[in-house]
Amino acid sequence: MDEDQKSAITPALIGKKIDVVLAMNPKWGEGLDRNAVTDELIRRFSLWVGEDVTMVSDAGHVAWLDAARKRDWLYWQRYRELLEKKLSWKAVDALDTSTDKVLGMLEDPCRQGPWDRRGLVVGHVQSGKTGHYTGLVCKAADAQYKVIIVLAGLHNNLRSQTQIRLEEGFLGYDTSVRDPLRPVGVGEIDTDQAIFPNCATTRLNTGDFGKKVAKHLAISPEQRPWLFVVKKNKSVLSELLRWIQNHVADTQRPDDDAAADNDPLPRVRKVVTKLPLLIIDDEADHASVDTQEQDFDPDTGKPDDEHNPTVINKLIRRILHSFSRSAYVGYTATPFANIFIHERGETRQEGPDLFPAAFIHNLAAPSNYVGPATLFGTASAQNRQSALPLVHEVSDYIKADGESGWMPQKHSNGHVPRWSAEESLPPSLREAIESFVLACAARVLRGQAREHSSMLVHVTRFTLVQNEVHAQIDEYVRHLKQRLIRQIDDQPILNRLKHLWITDFLPTTAQLREQGLISAGEDSTWDELVTALPEVLQDIEVRTINGTAKDVLDYAENEAKGLKVIAIGGDKLARGLTLEGLCTSYFLRASRMYDTLMQMGRWFGYRPGYLDLCRLYTTSELVKWFGHITDAAAELREEFDFMASSGATPREYGLKVQSHSILMVTSQVKMRAAKSLMISYSGQLLQSVSLFRRSRELIHNLDATKRFISSLGTPDETDPERRRGSEVQKWTGYLWKKVSGGDVADFMYGFRTHPDSHRVNSVMLSEFIRAMSLGGELTEWTVALIGLQTGKPCQLAEGVTVNMATRAGNPELSDRYAIGVLLDPKDESIDLDIDQWEAALALTKLARKPDTQGSATVKEPTQPSGPAIRQVRGHGAANVTAHPERGLLMLYVLDPAGAKVELESDIPVVAFGISFPGSGSVMKVEYKVNNVLWEQEYVPSE
């Protein structure tokens, strides 16, 4: 800790420090695993955490949180001590800073008079959001928030898991044991039961809030806070609302709009004025969002106050509306649905909708977090870069006809999966199970025998089919146990396992070690693994996750020995539930909605000391869609950082995201558009990366491009050069300036984009350019034709010949020529002069908040970001004039010989990128959606 230069903390230095400590007491060296100590210290000191980014509105807010208010905080202090036992100090310090920021954006619970603050915390999937809001709950209780309600998912197992985490981190006792109290977690650090918070719910399957609890529960404004961990369930929330109204409310306010007789809200609205409320909404995009469309008066813009919201949304809002002092914080990794909440939605009985008007707080993940960008890589000109070799694509679960096989895409609840007459499971699933067995054995040899190890099998949403899959996997595991434990006819299995270890595990470990993702060490030998296999197999259990609390509680009950479990499930595994020590995933379910897919990614998270042993077996289609998600999430985070640095509020960001051209960000219902989507391209970069393979379309697009280039006449510049700071950037190609928006729109209309290119639709682009031109924007374009210094030449017009670029296609996608990235990042600034470029770079530096998931480096930027370039072009900056009329069209000709996929002919492939300037206009174009197609392609099968 005293080492100023943390980079100097090497194995050699750690070895010297160990020698110093052992000199003080040589007995400490008996049985000491020096390598394990060294690995753990390197892991702790090599971790870094990026900066959180916040978009905030201070309307009606009074700043209050300072060091004096934190002086005697007990709940946070004991939680911090608990965390310091298992996390690096850097991670704990980052959590302390982050939760301070969120709490400070809420209102001071001691502030009198009515107030209401609503915010959203956005984290990465499986990145520690529960730990974050546990810290927030501790601090809120220290600050004197008295009623704390945690909305913990839709199912019993997730509610129970959340209850257990809050018992360990906040309550300090096991709620299933009342007399005497059994301390757990923080309760073992500070055993003073006088400070233990009250809790109205328990970790038991029957421990949710209900009539029985309400009947015997009295509350008084005492010193200790009250915690409620409840499901988002109509009967639970109705009972909680009724109890608040009948037992906690201390003031009556007349309500002109009398509630219906069967409604939990009485005719006179009762309000709690003495106890400040904090609601934590876990998975806030799920069930909490009002999916009924609310009408607004076209003249005044006022919302229809007779609107009837969806039931969970209604009850959450009524609970908030029952307190004169309330705070609401939603937590999610996929905030799209929350941002689509109408910022002015409000009704008389429910009060305002749950739009995060006060703040949106983006959590930065620490460097040891394994997220989508780590696993699936990032888009590049040569397809995806830096993807980890942990993903195995599978196809044997389905027959060639797509309609039959072990688990066809469409199947009924009565489907009986069967791979062949001899084998019930497909070879890929058998390999996945054996991969899990090897991972468990290797973890034992690495000293992780007492850590939990899990395997996820997610192949169907139907309970009956899950049960059949459970039976088949259980039978296969029993088969492995019988052969390997009894050593009867075990050689064929051992040969298979050895081949998998040598051809897959050892090379993967070597690669991750080379990349610095795992620490140096010696690999387990095959002979060592064989000795560990029988004991590992003995411990493996096969379970079906069916929503009962027992599925979760086993982790806590097996803390001493570590649970080894293969979990088969469907939708209850798809959101929120943490599978401890997840090593292997077999995942077939498909949804094309970004938020649903992202939430299904249970394999993201932290894998200390065993990342190289993890495997994901899934379909090529899901790998492709996770690539889309990774890129979209990175783009939205970059946009968020940029807008936050410029002082934008959550309402302004909401409008920005609502017009974003990613069509599948969330379900059509949540987007409040039944038959069409309204899309704006302002401030966005689009590039055509899904291209045709067929000669007919390639010839059509090449001819359209030749006609367009010929119509532009003599280029204004050939091989442009631009001064960039102390350097000069050069391009090979041509530039035409002041091209009319009509000509660009005509070119787009005549150009054919691939039907799978959802974002880049040439007809919609043409319509958008025309619509913006009517308002005086996008009327004057720069057209850049960009090639290579060397390469095969392609003549597009007289005197205009460009050397073709090469972009490798994805060989897995046979229906298109799919490339990773078309543009070189510097191409987007080709039309900027030095003042514009420097202004964009200054904005980029201002917005720079290093997040380990968004960048591989923390160095200061030397090139302006895309959002900054488009901001400067459209809105201007200090000493730079705004030019919302100027768009940039970049054309590229790709060499079919460099495609690395088979095209129908050697016709050059034309691709384009468009950089749209930022705009103050709310102009959008309508994207018609075929409902049947939407449901087939994007709607999840829940």
What secondary structure does DSSP assign to 324-388, as a single string?
SEEEEEEEES-THHHHTS-TT-EETTTEE-----SEEEEPPPBTTEE-HHHHH-EEETTEEES--
Residue 258 — pLDDT band, cuts 50, 70, 90? very low
Tokens representing 800 are 């205009």
CB 96 within 8 A of CB 139: no
For residue 665, the model assigns a pLDDT of: 39
Q: DSSP states of 451-470 as a string?
A: S-EEEEEE--S-HHHHHHHH
Tokens representing 322 are 């029952």
Residue 670 has pLDDT above 50, yes or no: no
For residue 255, the model assigns a pLDDT of: 59
Return the closest-CA partner of residue 364 out of 604, 598, 166, 128. 128
**Radius of gyration for the chain, computed over Cα atoms and rounded to the nearest angstrom:** 29
Residue 314 has pLDDT above 70, yes or no: yes
| Conformation bin of residue 489: beta by default, left when phi > 0, alpha when psi is -120 to 50 | left
pLDDT in tens, 730-787: 999 999 999 999 999 999 999 999 987 767 889 889 999 999 999 899 999 999 999 9
CB 502 within 8 A of CB 492: no
For residue 857, the model assigns a pLDDT of: 46
Average pLDDT over residues 534-539: 94
CATH 3.40.50.300 boundaries in the chain: 51-294+303-362
CA–CA separation, 370 vs 520, rounded Å? Answer: 19
Return the closest-CA partner of residue 841 out of 825, 857, 852, 856. 825
For residue 13, the model assigns a pLDDT of: 77
Average pLDDT over residues 551-578: 72
Tokens representing 477 are 């595991």
51-294+303-362: what CATH class? alpha beta
Q: Which distant-in-sequence residues (6+ apart) come within 8 Å of 689 by Cβ?
A: 379, 757, 760, 818, 819, 820, 821, 822, 911
For residue 264, the model assigns a pLDDT of: 54
Residue that the structure tokens 């230095």 belong to = 13
Backbone angles phi, psi at 907, to 5 degrees: -70, 130
Distances (CA, A) of 417 to 398, 460, 649: 10, 11, 51
CA–CA separation, 857 vs 841, rounded Å? Answer: 17
Give the chain's mean pLDDT. Answer: 84
Return the closest-CA partner of residue 397 out of 173, 163, 182, 587. 587
Average pLDDT over residues 497-517: 91
Residue 602 has pLDDT above 70, yes or no: no
CA–CA separation, 887 vs 823, rounded Å? Answer: 16
Is the alpha carbon torsion for 455, 459, 462, 464 positive or negative? Answer: negative
pLDDT in tens, 324-333: 999 999 998 7
Residue that the structure tokens 């270890």 belong to = 501
Determine the residue type at 941.
S
For residue 559, the model assigns a pLDDT of: 73
For residue 69, the model assigns a pLDDT of: 93
Residue 377 — pLDDT band, cuts 50, 70, 90? confident
Residue 76 has pLDDT above 80, yes or no: yes
CA–CA separation, 701 vs 739, rounded Å? Answer: 20
